[in-house]
Amino acid sequence: MFSYLTPNTFIEILCFLFAIVCLTTDKNAVWRSMILYLLFTCIAEIAGIYFGRKTHNNNWIYNIFLVIEACFTNLMFVSLFNKYHKSKLMVIPGLALFAIFYVQGLMNHGFFVYNNFTYTFMSVLYVMYSLYYYYLLITDDRFINLKSSPEFWWTAGTLFFYFANTVCNLFDEKLEEVMVTSTRNLSYVIFAGLNIILYTCWSYSFICRKWQTKMLKIS
C-alpha cells in the first residue's frame, strides 16, 4: 500500500482530508463539490499508478479524469464569476470547444493515448479564467482581505498550476532527458512541485472558507 504513497498522492489525499474537515457543512454546493472532485482525483492517481505498473498504459484513466477535471473546475469558475455577473454564457463556449477537441482527440488517437492537446487547451482556458477573475477582483470597490479570501487562494493555486504546467508541457521532451535521480527525471520533479503548490493553496482556501463560514454564523 505504501508503494502508492508518492508525493502526488500524499498531497492530494491531504488536500482531500482538508476538504472533508472544512467543507462538509458548507452551505455552498459548489464548494462542497470539491470534496467529491478531490476524491475522484485521489482514485484516478492511485488507479493510474496501479494500471501503469500492471499494464504499462494508464492513459485511459487520465482521459476519463480529464472530463471530471473540466466539469468541476468550470463549475467553480462559474461560482466565482457569479459574484460579479452571470457567467454561464462566458463558460459554455469554452466547455463546447473542450468537448469538440476531446472527441476529436479520441477519434484521431484512440482512448489509450493521452488527449494532450485537449489538456493544453483546458490549461490555457483556466489561466485566462483566473486572470479574468483577478481583473474582476482588482476592479471591485469592496474591501476584500486577500489573506483570508478562499476565492483568491483557490484561484492562485489554479493559475500557478495551469500556467506553469502549460509552459512545462512545451519543453516536456527536454525535461524528461534531464535525470535528477537514477529513477526520476526533471519533468517528474517539476510536476510534483506544481501539485504541491496547487493543493497547498487549495487546502488553505478550504481553511479560509471554513473560517469565513464560522464568522458569518457568529455575526
Q: Which residue has the higher pLDDT, 154 or 87?
A: 154
Confidence band of 123 (pLDDT split at 50, 70, 90): very high
What local confidence, expressed as pLDDT, does residue 88 receive?
74
What is the C-alpha to C-alpha distance for residues 22 and 8, in angstroms, rounded to an integer? Answer: 21
So where are the chain's domains? 2-214
Q: Read off the pLDDT of each residue in 90-118 and give the average, rounded to a whole number.
A: 94
In this prediction the pTM is: 0.92
- Locate all alpha helices (DSSP H) within the chain, ordered by sequence: 7-23, 29-54, 59-81, 88-109, 116-138, 150-170, 172-177, 186-218
pLDDT higher than 90, residue 87: no
Q: Read off the pLDDT of each residue in 166-194 and give the average, rounded to a whole number.
A: 81
pLDDT tens, residue by residue, 9-58: 999 999 999 999 999 999 999 999 999 999 999 999 999 999 998 988 99
Q: Read off the pLDDT of each residue in 116-123 and give the average, rounded to a whole number.
A: 95
Give me the percent of the chain exceeding a pLDDT of 70. 96
Cβ pair 154, 130 in contact under 8 A: no
What is the C-alpha to C-alpha distance for residues 6 and 11, in angstroms, rounded to an integer? Answer: 9
Helix axes 186-218, 7-23, angle to 10 degrees: 10
Categorise residue 49: left if φ over 0, alpha if ψ from -120 to 50, beta otherwise.
alpha
Q: Which residue has the higher pLDDT, 140 or 215?
A: 140
The DSSP string of 33-86 is HHHHHHHHHHHHHHHHHHHHHHTS--HHHHHHHHHHHHHHHHHHHHHHHTTTS-
Name every residue whose Cβ is closer than 8 Å to that of residue 174 and which is 6 or more positions away in sequence: none
What local confidence, expressed as pLDDT, does residue 169 receive?
81
Instruction: Share the mean pLDDT of the chain.
Output: 91
What local confidence, expressed as pLDDT, does residue 83 receive?
87
pLDDT higher than 80, residue 2: no
Q: Which helix (H) or strand (E) holds 148?
A: none
Confidence band of 189 (pLDDT split at 50, 70, 90): confident
- How many residues are there in the chain? 219
pLDDT tens, residue by residue, 125-160: 999 999 999 999 999 888 889 999 999 999 999 999
What local confidence, expressed as pLDDT, does residue 112 receive?
94
